[in-house]
A and B are shown apart, each in its own frame.
Chain A
């Protein structure tokens, strides 16, 4: 009791209402880690708009066709975006702090497709870089560093993005059905992970995406939040420069086929295109 009184009276003497209010609101009951102070904090939003070629992606309904002429319906499309860096017109780079730089984009959850970056220094941005997947450092971090979308508790049968038996995150999860799907239920399952291995080198399916805004720019001001709108093309998961993945040949690609999963990773490297900035 006494301490609090002292604190309040001290605040009273310290001139402004604003100060006294803010000092008291920082009660010991708030979280132990202080919120970073938004010194020159603007915001920038990245939108990940999932599409199939020139069509919008609709889950569980619309039939699409890949370059191999195979029909398919998408039932699930989730992926991790992490390690975001923004480049200013003057060439300086703003790196989103590690702990705030992991996002799980899920087609069935609209809100997840809008990634809002806070405390972005004011300025005109001309390029963005991010990783598809979760870097090896975070893949081997202690459990206290695995909060929120990185919590390993998620179920594999649902939206889980973590392999419990071969510890590591799934970076991209694409599931659907097709006349070329597996003979049991007609489905195909692509769960792409593998971060390079804990103490022995394995395939690394993280991919760095760099998108230059070209003639466009994203002006961050204290009042204005530019939105960088990406199209993310499911077709590119199948159809790549080097390899077309055929559902008829591979109705399941997971951790057990590292080389095949690597081909998909090489494909999804190219699934992002900048549509517009507003």
Chain B
């Protein structure tokens, strides 16, 4: 991999982030709604304000948020803020900044997403690879089948079903929340265990829904690769089955799956938002959900933009990893 390629990829990353932030800036401004005016209108309905006072308040708020300036100047300031990852103040939870809110919610979402994405990638691809490997025992090859059936179930339904049967009926796992009510977060094993128990159901909902997809694409690829000449020649060379499976079959079958992982990251975030909502986890999904309901525009922009940047960066990272896995793309 050469310097030119890295520079090219990084400049593309910057371009993607710029385009995303521009869209996030302009699209909501096409809407006739005015978040500040709506908020004060709501307050005035509960009484106590004269309309003149409200106009003054709105003007001062507009000034504070920089909304009184010309659009282009606003845009310019906004781009500067994006570079500093400063998304301004939350309207709803003022004076908390959007960056603070994201920082608080992020560990929940990130922890859940990372673990479930990696687990379903590993489990799905391994099961898919085994299911297409003629030498694997039949019982092992058929483990993949139920997961494929579950792909058809959307995470919302999966979450509700799990909650109902495992949480509500069997009472095996807690019904929701990040940790038990009344427990104060501390660095202790007890708390960690409590935390884990609460993450099991949402994690399961996400994993059960996504393993099948990996199984299917991996199996399709595996059927092709297991018939390749180099896999046969490896057997002619007298290699052990395990080595052929790992170094000749699995390594080649995984290549397109890594690309698939980059593509899947986008959809993973959306399903996580839904699942967080169902299980009442204080992650980005829940925060975004609340922000949308309360017209907290800076928070919405901040989170959407943050997710866009995070996915763009992850995809760039994967693109840098790919040449390490496949020497054929190294010199291109």
| A and B physically associate | no
Question: Residues of B with Cβ closer than 8 Å to A?
Answer: none
Question: Residues of A with Cβ closer than 8 Å to B?
Answer: none
